[in-house]
Structure formats: structure tokens, C-alpha cells
Chains A and B, each alone.
Chain A
Amino acid sequence: GAVVSQHPSRVICKSGTSVKIECRSLDFQATTMFWYRQFPKKSLMLMATSNEGSKATYEQGVEKDKFLINHASLTLSTLTVTSAHPEDSSFYICSVPKSGDSGHEQFFGPGTRLTVL
């Protein structure tokens, strides 16, 4: 079964609105989660590291005021795309690393496809 879920799987919104995407770890607690975006026929680009209990860490070039991340609990991280514009249309994916000795594996969510009109 799924280890990481994302909601919604697909969203279409008007330009200027804000969109919230949820990432849930279903099988284990995660103090860290990662957010990626992927444009068509491109690779995944890491946007930020979501940290439970502290501020997210953003990769260079990613606007923290544009992409708000909240790690509300040990199983939930949210990404809010504020004042979305057509260029924000993309596939957003979260991942959850499994901690511990066997923690080499990271589990990815199924992704959220955002289309901004």
C-alpha cells in the first residue's frame, strides 16, 4: 500500500489564487520531508526541506514567500503556492525519508499536478 499520500492529486486554479498541497506520511513519523517540482520532460528539482518544529530550508532560487511550507506534525507537511501564476503550473512531489539503520530509502508521494489558468 501507499506509504506517502498527496492531496489533491490534481488541481486547476485561476491566476492569483493560492493553492495548498498536503503530503502525509502514512506508515511512519518523519521529522523531515522534501518538496520537489517537475516540469514536463524535465527532471525533479528539489525546492525545499520541510522540518517539523522549525522553518523550512529552501534551495537557492526558490522564493520562500511564494512557496510556503508548514510541517504541522510528524506525519503532515503542506506546500502552499501563493498567488499562483501560469508559470507555477507543474508537477509537485513530496518525499519522506525513513530514518534509522535502514533509512537509505526515501518514499515519494504520487504527486500533485497543478494547472494555473
Chain B
Amino acid sequence: DAKTTQPPSMDCAEGRAANLPCNHSTISGNEYVYWYRQIHSQGPQYIIHGLKNNETNEMASLIITEDRKSSTLILPHATLRDTAVYYCIVRVGGVYNQGGKLIFGQGTELSVKP
């Protein structure tokens, strides 16, 4: 079973920041938080991951609370092409576990509206 809880759907206005929450209250110390998204009828796409520090890349920012029980994915300037299902996944990481399987929950369906 997935170890995360996400709202089933969210709307966001084009050009505004999209903030997608994820609850992972049972996360273990060696588990990372990963975010993927799936645009309709395509394979999922990696967005970002983190362990305990906040992370930023060209796609998004990941804010992890100090107790690591929740996190927020931020798309700073959402566009219509960001409309997708966003999945928050926790999984054991580390050099010897990066090839481990990803278990998907239900995700959040983000609709970016003009």
C-alpha cells in the first residue's frame, strides 16, 4: 500500500504557483520523498526528490517539514502543460536502493486553468 495521502484534485490558475501537499506521517528515517507526474496517456515523469532538506530544480521545489511527516511540491509558475496527475511516493533511498520499486498511490489531479 502507498504510504502517502494526497488530495484527489486541485485547480490552479495559469501563471500562479501550484502548491501540492502530501502527507507521509509514517515515513522512516531512510525513506526519501519522490514526486512524479503523469500527463494523460503518457508514462510518468520524474520531478524531484528529497530526504530532509528542501530541494529545487528547473521544474519545481520540494519543501519537506522538519518532522518529515509532510511535504509540498511547488510549481512556481504553472502552465497549461502542467495539467497532470502528481504522485508523491516515499521509498527507501541510498546508493544501494535507488533501483527499488516505486509504489504509486492515487495522486493529485492538478488542473491548470487559463
Chain A interface (Cβ < 8 Å from any Cβ of B): 4, 31-32, 34, 36, 43-46, 49, 91, 93, 95, 97-101, 103-111, 113
Q: Please, which residue of chain A has its CB at the minimum distance from the CB of B2?
A: A43
- The answer to whether B99 has its CB under 8 Å from any CB of chain A is yes
Q: Which of B80-113 contact A (CB under 8 A)?
A: 85, 87, 93, 95, 98-107
Chain B interface (Cβ < 8 Å from any Cβ of A): 32, 34, 38, 41-46, 49, 85, 87, 93, 95, 98-107
Please tell me which one of the listed residues A36, A97, A110, A113 contacts residue B98 in the complex, with CB atoms under 8 A apart. A97
Q: Please, which residue of chain A has its CB at the minimum distance from the CB of B95?
A: A101
**Interface contacts beyond A43-B87, A103-B98, A106-B102: sample of 7 additional A-B pairs, CB < 8 Å, sorted by A:** A4-B43, A34-B102, A46-B101, A100-B98, A105-B49, A109-B43, A110-B43
Instruction: Give Cα distance in the complex from A109 to B107, angstroms.
Output: 19
Instruction: Give Cα distance in the complex from A32 to B100, angstroms.
Output: 9
**Which residues of chain B come closer than 8 Å to A101, judged between CB atoms?**
95
B102 touches A46 (CB 8 A): yes
B99 touches A43 (CB 8 A): no
Instruction: Give Cα distance in the complex from A95 to B89, angstroms.
Output: 15
B43 touches A97 (CB 8 A): no
Question: Min CB distance, B111 to chain A, in Å?
Answer: 14
